[in-house]
Amino acid sequence: MFYGALVKVRLFLYKAGVFKKKKIKCLVISVGNIVVGGVGKTPAVMMLVRMFSRQGKRVAILSRGYKSGFSRSKSKSKKEKKNFLVVSDGKNIISDSLQSGDEPYLLAEACRSVPVIIGKDRYVSGKYALEEYSSQVLVLDDAFQHLPLHRDLDIVIIDALLPFSNGYLLPRGGLREYPSGLKRGDVFFITHTDQVKKEILENTIAQLKKINPHAAIVKTLHQPVGVLSLDSKRRVEQVDFLKGKEILALCSIGNPLSFRKTLESLEANIVDFISFSDHYVYEKKQLEKILKGRENGIIVTTQKDEGKIKQLKLDEKLKANIFALVIELKTIGNEGNWDKKIQEKMQNFLDKDK
């Protein structure tokens, strides 16, 4: 109740204009959610960034860098402490996964030509992106509750497997705010729609329409597109490579159930499934102990875990048998023409800029 009261007061103060929102002269799109844990925000960010990049727009990704080495650093004085960290300048990845955090590093790896910047104050990092890279579009990763920065579009990710957690706010449940907060959303991406029954999905859609009848609703699924070895050869295999094979699955993500279901859909024979808490930091000795005796077996992990495992400098023979499952977000339904809404906002921005 105390947490909920704080959330309501904060939202009211922004809505009433007591707390002011800052604006940046470019198109600002937020991708976020109301539930803690993995719901599929990162693949959604990738999809948006690639869409704008194909159109020739200059894009930058802004992230808070939750649980990154940079965000946890308390040793510097206020004068020395930087407000943001450049993970990638769009040409080179500058920071490692420990310093930048799991998601920002993954985004930097997946979107090589796009700058990725982390920092608590998205206005500061956004201004830097505008000045340094002449960005036309800023995509904010995990920013639905980041109210200080004005955005032109709020995309909210809803996990079909657990759309509203257990119905309770933190710390009793997994909700960051009340579901009524979804009224602020412009577009709902429902993820993992292929992993729930049709009637459950329809019930979730009905609830979303009741809360916010004006938002566009997009059904999506996480489509496996291949597996990538972690050794220096970086071998790429088709997803049917896993069919019928005995594998050890290893992950440290917010929604391990979805990862398991995806592997099962590929008809992989999961002989062992090891899951750590989200943002878990692996240690070399610990991982070598887990993988001992599996030098000739197949280990499958997530793209999010890939960056952390690569940092450990494991034996090359062992890494040759570790594969990251590459996932892309695929839209399978589009009520409300969400993509046209984005293009209209982009065109309005370009017209004003002339």
10-residue averages of pLDDT along the chain (354 residues):
94 95 94 90 95 94 89 55 88 92 93 96 96 96 96 95 93 95 95 95 97 93 94 90 95 92 95 93 90 84 92 86 94 72 72 62
Looking at residue 352, what is its pLDDT?
65
Structure tokens at 288: 């070598």
| Cα distances (Å, whole numbers) of residue 228 to 49, 237, 298, 310, 327 | 22, 6, 12, 12, 11
Q: Identify the DSSP state of 40.
A: S
2-221+330-353 homologous superfamily:
P-loop containing nucleotide triphosphate hydrolases (3.40.50.300)
User: If 0-12 CB within 10 Å is exposed, 13-18 middle and 19+ buried, where does residue 336 land?
Assistant: middle
At 160, is the secondary structure helix, strand, or coil?
coil
The contacts of residue 318 (CB under 8 Å, 6+ apart) are: 288, 291, 295
At 301, is the secondary structure helix, strand, or coil?
strand
The contacts of residue 270 (CB under 8 Å, 6+ apart) are: 247, 248, 249, 260, 263, 264
Q: What whole-number distance in Å separates Cα of residue 90 and Cα of residue 269?
A: 39
Considering the chain, tell me which residue range(s) the CATH 3.40.50.300 domain(s) occupy.
2-221+330-353
CATH dotted code for 225-328: 3.40.190
Considering the chain, tell me which residue range(s) the CATH 3.40.190 domain(s) occupy.
225-328
Looking at residue 339, what is its pLDDT?
75
Looking at residue 222, what is its pLDDT?
93
pTM: 0.92
Q: What whole-number distance in Å separates Cα of residue 182 and Cα of residue 174?
A: 15
